[in-house]
Amino acid sequence: MDQETNRHWMNVIVAFFLASLPILIIQILHPYIYFESEIPPYLVFHNIAESFSIIVSMSIFGVGWFTYAQSKDKHTLFLGTACLGIALMDMMHMLGYTGMPDLFTPNSPNKSTQFWIIVRFFAAISFLTSAFIPNENGSFKQRSWLLLGSISVSAFAFVSVTYYPDLLPVTFSTEIGLTNFKKVSEFVIIFVLILALIAYWFRIPRFGWDHTKYYLYAFVFGISSELVFAVYTTVFDIYNVLGHIYKIISFFLIYRGVFISSINSPYRNVLETNEKLSKSLSEKENLIKEVYHRSNNTLQVIGSLIFLQAEAYPDSPEIKTIVNRIQDRIQAISLVHRLLFSGQDLSSVPIKQYISELSNYALQTNGNSSCKLNLNLEIEDRKLLFDAVIPIGLILSELLNNSIKYAFPEASSGNISITFYEGQDQRFHLTYSDDGVGIEENYNFKNSSSLGIQLVQGIAESQLSGKVHFKTGPKFQCEIDFPINLYKKRV
């Protein structure tokens, strides 16, 4: 056996020793500590002990029955329905005890003991059977049959012991105390519990020590309980008291096993799964941020390469203009990735911050020192998906460049205004305007040869599914409106 198995054996042996110790003490100090209680105080103890067992059994039934829809734990369901029958028959045993008000027929030691034997046989056989029912998710197609079976056994015990006790073997008589049938029955029950303990031991490799240990300990104390119930002299002596204490411990341990299997373990699994998902999500967020960061760096490298290539033609103003325009467009896209990388939202960009930074960049890099331009922004403070922000950035980059280069040829100052808001028509509205020279009245935008105008129209209509309206004459103005639900969040 490996070290872990030896440790498990030692735990079970220690449990046997602890359960046996009170019995040994009573045997050694029998003349000094043995007692037979008066009926009233013993009934108080007995009712408390049996009530505790009944409550625990009903709790096990509640856990097993009402968590089955979610857990699909066949083992706990079987134990739960068995414990319902145990609780009902334990209640009959308690109410049929000598000194209690008569339960339909006169109470007697034999009556309560007959109930006891039936319920202990039922419990032992149920525990042994449960050892062969797996914890894995499964499905009892007719779980109501389990419930019906448990209630049927309880009904049989009630009817037979209450109304036909003479058909059952006598378990206790005032002349001889415990009958041979009662003693033999207790040892048979002990044998069945030993088989249950062995069967549960073989569940350890499959279901783990933590899921099994409480059942093993419960059977140890259950065996000890049956042992003292096989040797008591009267139903009020010290052995009877000790037997009920063992029974309380045994049922509490079974409840712990069921609780861990059906409540603690699933919640622990949920927490572990959530922790793994959280870790995985964090890793994916970092990965996506790294992608944005590298995309931004890549765009900057591309821009630098284009700029370096253009330096080979220092005397060509056309190439310089083209390179500057490409740089502006790269910056419009790069800024989106930079904001995504620096923010917590991996899908959306604050549009107000984006337009402000993009506009200031355009004025700084392309501004005319002879003309002071004032920027007026009225941007709704909200976030937009980057799928929409990039086209907006490319459009504004073209419009800003055109205003800076052509709108104020002789002016010493000028104004550029950008507004963005969500209208009541469930569409976004982007308006760009300047107070420059504007565009001639009969200008044909549809057939325009200007690359900037073509880009603005093409991007607005194809990527934003929007509508574009230009104002001709002095003071240029471009209005674009597009659907608010054009793109869906993906990250």
pLDDT in tens, 160-199: 999 999 899 998 887 777 888 988 998 999 999 999 999 9
Q: Are 214 and 256 in contact (CB under 8 A)?
A: yes
Model pLDDT for residues 285-327, shown as the tens digit of each residue:
676 666 666 666 676 777 677 767 766 677 777 777 777 777 7
pLDDT of residue 490: 64
Do 3-278 and 313-483 share a fold?
no
Per the listing, tokens 């104390």 go with 221
Angle at 329 between CA 301 and CA 369, to 5 degrees: 100
What's the token pair of residue 297? 């760096």
Give the pLDDT mean for 146-164: 93
121-125, 248-252, 301-305, 365-369: segment of lowest average pLDDT: 365-369
CA distances from 283 to 278, 336, 447, 490 (A): 9, 21, 50, 17
Query: What is the distance between the alpha carbons of residues 146 and 130, in angstroms, rounded to a whole number?
Result: 12
Give the pLDDT mean for 352-363: 88
Query: What is the distance between the alpha carbons of residues 215 and 234, in angstroms, rounded to a whole number?
Result: 30
Query: What is the distance between the alpha carbons of residues 331 and 401, in angstroms, rounded to a whole number?
Result: 13
pTM of the prediction? 0.60
Give the pLDDT mean for 119-133: 92
Q: What is the 3-state secondary structure of 416-480?
A: EEEEEEECCCCEEEEEEEECCCCECCCCCCCCCCCHHHHHHHHHHHHCCCCEEEEECECCCEEEE
pLDDT of residue 429: 94
**Closest C-alpha among 207, 225, 61 to residue 131:** 207
Query: What is the distance between the alpha carbons of residues 79 and 150, in angstroms, rounded to a whole number?
Result: 11
Model pLDDT for residues 437-488, shown as the tens digit of each residue:
888 888 888 777 777 888 889 889 998 999 999 888 888 999 999 998 888 7
The CATH T-level fold of domain 313-483 is Heat Shock Protein 90 (3.30.565)
Listed ranges 37-41, 151-155, 269-273, 413-417; the one with the highest mean pLDDT: 151-155
Beta-carbon count within 10 A of 361 CB = 16
Q: Are 337 and 296 in contact (CB under 8 A)?
A: yes
The one-letter amino acid code at 403 reads S
What's the token pair of residue 363? 């004025």
Task: State the pLDDT confidence band at 137, using cuts at 50, 70 and 90.
Answer: low
Q: Are 407 and 478 in contact (CB under 8 A)?
A: no
The one-letter amino acid code at 462 reads S
Model pLDDT for residues 48-85, shown as the tens digit of each residue:
888 988 998 898 898 888 888 777 788 888 988 999 99
- Domain locations along the chain: 3-278, 313-483
In eight-state DSSP terms, residue 372 is E
In the CATH scheme, what architecture does the domain 3-278 have? Up-down Bundle (1.20)
pLDDT of residue 22: 86
Model pLDDT for residues 83-116, shown as the tens digit of each residue:
999 999 999 999 998 888 999 999 988 898 899 8
